[in-house]
Amino acid sequence: MLTKPENCQLSLSHSEKASGLLRDGLNLGPHCHSSSLDKVVQLLLCDLLLVMRTNVWRLQQSSSPGGLSLQASPAELHGFQQDLSSLRKLAQSFRPAMRRLFLHEATARLMAGASPTRTHQLLDRSLRRRATPGAKMEECEMRPGQREQAEAVMLACRYLPPSFLSAPGQRVGMLADAARTLEKLGDKRTLHDCQQMIIKLGSGTTVTSA
């Protein structure tokens, strides 16, 4: 659907409407107590909006000459930041939302062309998913899952400078682990992206255009 520019704009237009409705739902105030099911739906919608905006940005990158890294436009960044703010607000009362927060915060920095140091720290937090012995239930709910770990590896390998990552051979190994995780989760689209990154990395081609 996002392969044509007009479809990208249409998707962004629909996203703005959905984003506004989501913010309205989150801003009803403390007198309105959302059920756990409501919060799950809000999290799914918020994550879907952020993923869609990320995909539009990536599509624009891949269509640029040589697949060079491009900053998102001010309008795109504004829309992403609004949805990210919604995710932060949701995470205050629904801890599982924290699993996606670090990943999307890192993406926002990449879209803005910010310094990679803090971005690397955020992605690193998404890679730490093992719970410590005796960890409380609340802590376990906030820890990134297998999907977040795989996506963090892909983001790091695609966008962070080589100096922030391990040697090329180890990077291929990290991506191979991510691919196995995605295959187990049944995420065929992201699995395909990951496999393409492995191929490009193995051939010495930059993976930014993957």
pLDDT higher than threshold 80 for residue 210 = no
Q: How far apart are CA 171 and CA 166, in angstroms?
A: 6
Is residue 173 included in any domain, yes or no? yes
Is residue 121 included in any domain, yes or no? yes
Is residue 157 included in any domain, yes or no? yes
Tell me the per-residue pLDDT of 98-148, one tens digit each, with 9 for 90 and over.
989 989 999 999 999 998 888 988 888 877 654 444 556 555 555 668 899
Judged by DSSP in three states, 126 sits in: helix
pLDDT higher than threshold 70 for residue 195 = yes
Give buried/exposed letters for 58-86 (b at 16+ CB in 10 A, else e).
bbbbeeeeebeebebeeebbebbebbbeb
Supply the range of the domain harboring residue 117: 39-62+74-130+139-203
Cβ contacts of 98 within 8 Å, gap of 6 or more = 91, 141, 142
Is residue 20 included in any domain, yes or no? no
Report pLDDT for 131: 46
Is 104 buried (19+), middle (13-18) or exposed (0-12) by CB count in 10 A?
buried
Q: pTM to 2 decimals?
A: 0.81
pLDDT interval class at 10 (50, 70, 90)? confident
Structurally, the chain folds into a number of domains equal to: 1
Cβ-contact 106, 125 below 8 angstroms:
no
Is residue 24 included in any domain, yes or no? no
Cα–chain center distance at 34: 25
